[in-house]
């Protein structure tokens, strides 16, 4: 009698907006057996230990706890998040346990690595070298509103013409500048986190300018900058939030305005915010009014704002989201000539189906998990693994 191949036991932690495409992809394989789990600490260790791999789709701050449990249970880990310093600190423990901790297999980070590694490799092989919405937020949420907001409140570091440039988190959105991708889109771009390690990660030590950035529609960074100035991205607990009833009262307490009357709130916004011109001031004040009247409070300001925006900026039936990703490489060839090489991903969601964000994060995560389970060599190595090499990116 032929033996039945044992099931791959896969634990998915998190059931948010990107989980379904990952689950659907993994269920294509009849040898996969999936469980949806919790990150509750008392049950985490035995839950993870009873599986072959855990896919962590919970907020990134919880990944180290998941990995520590996986080390105890000798269970592989897959995340779509950056391999943060807290994750990299667990590299030795993962190696000792003989498990793979695979990270950065979403869209950003993830798909962005694939064509960067591919194009840079092709250029080097040829002897070339690197050179030089419909609401005031212009955004609707196909992933965590809190994550979207806080992603625009990170400091950024990059190389510009050979110089290391650092942008404090409070100034990040002020650095947004127009960026042309293709006709029909009015994008601005600003630096994203720390780009400097990618000169080494991508093996381009000769590059003088290395910037990874984020794209938003024109108007979004200006409104987010105002929200930061008004204190809305504060994650510290505020006991007084339990006492307020209206959104205006929250804004009054958050900003220290004289009262919750509109004229006092506007006066305080004028004191705290920096507007480039009268038109931008009008747009931002209209955006603040658009946020509404009744406040549903959630312990701190950023969570209160996130819940409010999730309601205001949700997709209507038939609407679809957009993921836009572009690489731009300036290459100097051996004969001294220069060439700009570009690759662009324009991915639209499916009305009534997968969003572009969930597809580009969830499906890619599912593929990477399946490749790991299938025992593919370059991925099947103990320790913290990231897709920065041709051997990993090609498959």
Report the C-alpha gap between 101 and 248 in whole angstroms. Answer: 46
Q: Which one-letter DSSP state was computed for residue 360?
A: I
Residue 108 designated active-site: yes
Report the C-alpha gap between 281 and 275 in whole angstroms. Answer: 6
Q: C-alpha angle 216/185/219, rounded to 5°?
A: 40
Pairing of strands 163-167, 156-160: antiparallel
Whether this model's pTM surpasses 0.85: no
From the candidates 24, 45, 96, 108, give the one annotated as an active-site residue.
108
pLDDT in tens, the chain (395 residues): 445 667 899 999 988 878 999 999 999 999 999 999 866 767 889 999 999 999 999 988 899 999 999 999 999 999 999 999 999 999 999 999 999 999 999 998 899 998 888 888 888 887 776 654 567 777 777 667 787 888 888 899 999 999 999 999 888 888 899 998 888 788 899 998 999 999 999 999 989 999 999 989 888 888 889 888 888 888 888 888 887 778 888 888 888 999 888 889 889 999 999 888 899 899 888 888 887 644 555 678 888 888 888 888 888 888 888 899 999 998 888 888 989 999 899 999 988 889 999 999 999 999 999 999 998 878 888 999 999 998 888 88
Neighbours of 311 (CB within 10 A): 11
**Phi/psi at 253 (nearest 5 deg)?**
-70, -35
Q: Which one-letter DSSP state was computed for residue 316?
A: P
Buried b (16+ CB within 10 A) or exposed e, 168-179: eeeebbbbbeeb
Closest alpha carbon to 291 in 303, 306, 316, 308: 308
Domains of the chain: 8-109+359-393 (3.40.50.720), 136-312 (1.10.1870.10)
């Amino acid at each position: 009698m032929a033996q039945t191949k044992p099931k791959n036991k896969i634990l998915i932690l998190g059931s948010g907006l990107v989980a379904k495409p990952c689950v659907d992809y993994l269920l294509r394989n009849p040898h996969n057996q999936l469980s949806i789990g919790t990150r509750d600490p008392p049950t985490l260790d035995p839950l993870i230990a009873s599986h072959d791999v855990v896919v962590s789709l919970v907020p990134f701050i919880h990944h180290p706890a998941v990995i520590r449990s996986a080390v105890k249970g000798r269970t592989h880990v897959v995340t779509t998040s950056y391999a943060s310093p807290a994750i990299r600190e667990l590299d030795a423990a993962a190696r000792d346990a003989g498990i793979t901790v695979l990270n950065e297999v979403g869209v950003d980070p993830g798909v962005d690595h694939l064509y960067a590694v591919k194009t840079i490799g092709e250029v080097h092989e040829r002897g070339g070298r690197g050179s030089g919405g419909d609401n005031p937020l212009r955004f609707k949420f196909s992933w965590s509103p809190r994550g979207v907001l806080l992603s625009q409140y990170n400091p950024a570091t990059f190389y510009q013409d050979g110089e290391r440039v650092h942008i404090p988190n409070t100034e990040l959105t002020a650095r947004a500048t127009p960026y042309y991708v293709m006709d029909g889109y009015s994008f601005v771009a600003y630096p994203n986190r720390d780009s400097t390690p990618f000169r080494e990660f991508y093996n381009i030590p000769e590059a003088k300018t290395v910037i990874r950035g984020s794209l938003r529609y024109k108007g979004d960074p200006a409104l987010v900058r105002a929200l930061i100035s008004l204190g809305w991205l504060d994650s510290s607990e505020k006991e007084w939030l339990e006492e307020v009833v209206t959104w205006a009262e929250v804004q009054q307490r958050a900003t220290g305005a004289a009262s919750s009357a509109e004229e006092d709130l506007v006066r305080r916004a004028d004191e705290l915010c920096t507007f480039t011109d009268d038109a931008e001031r009008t747009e931002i004040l209209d955006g603040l009014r658009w946020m509404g009247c009744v406040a549903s409070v959630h312990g701190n300001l950023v969570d209160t704002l996130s819940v409010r925006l999730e309601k205001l900026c949700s997709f209507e039936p038939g609407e679809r989201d957009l993921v836009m990703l572009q690489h731009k490489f300036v290459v100097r060839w051996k004969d001294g000539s220069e060439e700009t090489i570009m690759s662009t991903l324009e991915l639209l969601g499916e009305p009534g189906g997968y969003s572009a964000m969930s597809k580009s994060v969830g499906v890619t995560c599912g593929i990477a998990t399946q490749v790991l389970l299938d025992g593919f060599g370059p991925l099947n190595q103990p320790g913290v693994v990231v897709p920065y090499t041709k051997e990993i990116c090609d498959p």
